[in-house]
Amino acid sequence: MSGAGDGNGGSRVLPQAAPQREEVPSWRLLVTLGSTGAIAGLLLVFVYQATQPAIQAYRAMVLRQAVQEVLKGPERWDTLYVVDGGLVQELPAETDPAGLEMVFLGYHEDGQPIGFAITGGEFGFQDIIDLIFGYDPGTKTVTGMKVLANKETPGLGDKIEKDSVFVAEFDGSETPLVGVKSGRATGAANEVDMITGATISSRAVIAIINHRLELLGPMIAAYLEEAN
Amino acid sequence: MPRQTTPGQDLTRGIWRENPVLIQMLGLCPALAVTNTVVNSIAMGLATFFVLLCSSILVSTFRKLIPSEVRISTYILIIATFVTIADMTLEAVVPEVHKALGAFIALIVVNCMILGRQEAFASKNTVPRAIIDAVGTGIGFIIALLMMGSIREILGYGTFLGFPIFGSNYEPWIVFILPPGGFFTIGFILLALNWWERRKLERARAGEPPAGAAVERAA
């Protein structure tokens, strides 16, 4: 309110400075910005609520398709949560599943487990690379790999997602994976040929899988032991 | 007082004579960043068009209520609201395109072409005129983005809208879909435009060339 007083005072002292626009009281400024902000916020709430189901459904669909792909078409799968350094299927009461790490355990039609679909992300060449891969704990092999999100250089680094030869390299390769430059492969079952011109991105993909398995491998083994 | 113009001039001004990207050099960030394919260019163009049109309508409607001291903050608030709406809608309706455009949708907020139209036009004119102006400028922006996107996709991927147009022997010119390709493309477009403008100007300066003179020069 003092701002409004100042404004009036000013114009009384200098009545002839006429061409100057009348000073706007500060409450009007506050009301303008405040009401614009309030209306904007309200509008956004409506749009958010209207669009959120579609956005969530799309994300879930992408993940579903990815699990299907890396586990080679499982009949069904269970979602396991990482809680206190172990895998659990049933969350303890009053635990919010949002924000918890998840792995997916896929089954054949006859109820035999196929393997685990595990997500992970680490820094590549430009930004975080997010991927999902299938892992068969029986043979300790990767069953498939799919990049979910990357911002690598188009035409070079993004081949980790688009180059089908590179993606197929992961099918059935033993862990821990070792990246080799193309032409230097010795034929060992844990070798993955890296993409020429995208060494850093290729290496990041291999590192993500190895690091995730270092962390989750023991948990998976413990979970399976308990289940038997 | 703003110069009086007819509605037709309001419309065509933004499309060509004062094209935001090609003449005024505004909104270059999205024009360079996301025009590596035609689809991305169209999506960015339409999103910007939507934001520009809605903001112009609102700003023009409330132009007498918005004190000039806080006008810029109010415009930005209005623009940011519509950008967020466009962002959420794109993600819900065309998630693939939304993924490709990434952070650049949110960055429409700082597209100075939009703020520029609010400050220079919508805040001083009636709602219908503001709409016409926004439509013209928005179309001009889409045209510029389409020019960039077509050139870059054709050269960089060898495709147009995803359809291959050169045979399988075409070796894509990858630099055109990378950031430097954006600068090359806009550089060449501006070069061609300026050369054309200058030639037109020189012809005009040479006076109304009689038919005979034109023939003589051509020969």
pLDDT of residue A3: 40
pLDDT of residue A4: 41
Contact B149, B42 (CB under 8 A): yes
pLDDT of residue A6: 43
How many helices (H) and strands (E) chain A has is answered by: 5, 8
Contact B141, B55 (CB under 8 A): no
- Is the complex ipTM more than 0.85? no
Q: Does A38 touch chain B (CB under 8 A)?
A: no
Least confident of A10-24, A170-184, A202-216, B81-95: A10-24
Nearest alpha-carbon partner for B81 in A44, A34, A38, A30: A44
pTM for the model stands at 0.73
Q: Does A162 touch chain B (CB under 8 A)?
A: no
Contact A134, A143 (CB under 8 A): yes
- Give the minimum alpha-carbon distance from B208 to chain A in angstroms, rounded to a whole number: 48
pLDDT of residue A31: 92
Task: Give mean pLDDT, residues A94-113.
Answer: 82
CB < 8 Å to B68, chain A: 21, 24
- Give the minimum alpha-carbon distance from A147 to chain B in angstroms, rounded to a whole number: 14
What are the tokens at A101? 């790490």
- Give the minimum alpha-carbon distance from A72 to chain B in angstroms, rounded to a whole number: 24
Mean pLDDT of the residues in chain B: 87
- How far is the C-alpha of A69 from the C-alpha of A74, rounded, in Å? 9
Residue B118 has pLDDT above 90, yes or no: yes
CB < 8 Å to B70, chain A: 29, 32-33
Give residue B209's pLDDT band: very low, low, confident or very high (50, 70, 90).
Answer: low
pLDDT of residue B124: 92
Q: What number of other Cβ atoms are within 10 A of residue B218's Cβ?
A: 6
Residue A163 has pLDDT above 70, yes or no: yes
Interval A65-90: pLDDT, tens: 999 888 888 888 888 888 888 888 88
pLDDT of residue A39: 93
* End-to-end Cα, chain A, rounded Å: 75
| CA A17 to each of CA A9, A22, A23, B64, B67: distance values in angstroms, whole numbers, following the listed order | 13, 10, 12, 23, 20
DSSP label at residue A21: P
Residue B212 has pLDDT above 80, yes or no: no
pLDDT of residue A101: 83
Residue B210 has pLDDT above 60, yes or no: no
The CA-CA-CA angle for residues A190, A226, A209, to 5°, reads 25
- How far is the C-alpha of A183 from the C-alpha of A172, rounded, in Å? 20
Q: Which of residues A183 and B98 earns the better pLDDT score?
A: B98
pLDDT of residue A227: 77
Task: Give mean pLDDT, residues A28-38.
Answer: 92
| CB contact (8 A) between residue A33 and residue B77 | yes
Task: Give mean pLDDT, residues A184-203.
Answer: 86
- How far is the C-alpha of B78 from the C-alpha of A96, rounded, in Å? 36
| CB contact (8 A) between residue A33 and residue B67 | no
Beta strands in B95-156 (DSSP E): none
Task: Give mean pLDDT, residues A183-208.
Answer: 87
pLDDT of residue B72: 92
Nearest residue in chain B measured CA to CA from A156: B174
What are the tokens at A8? 């009036």
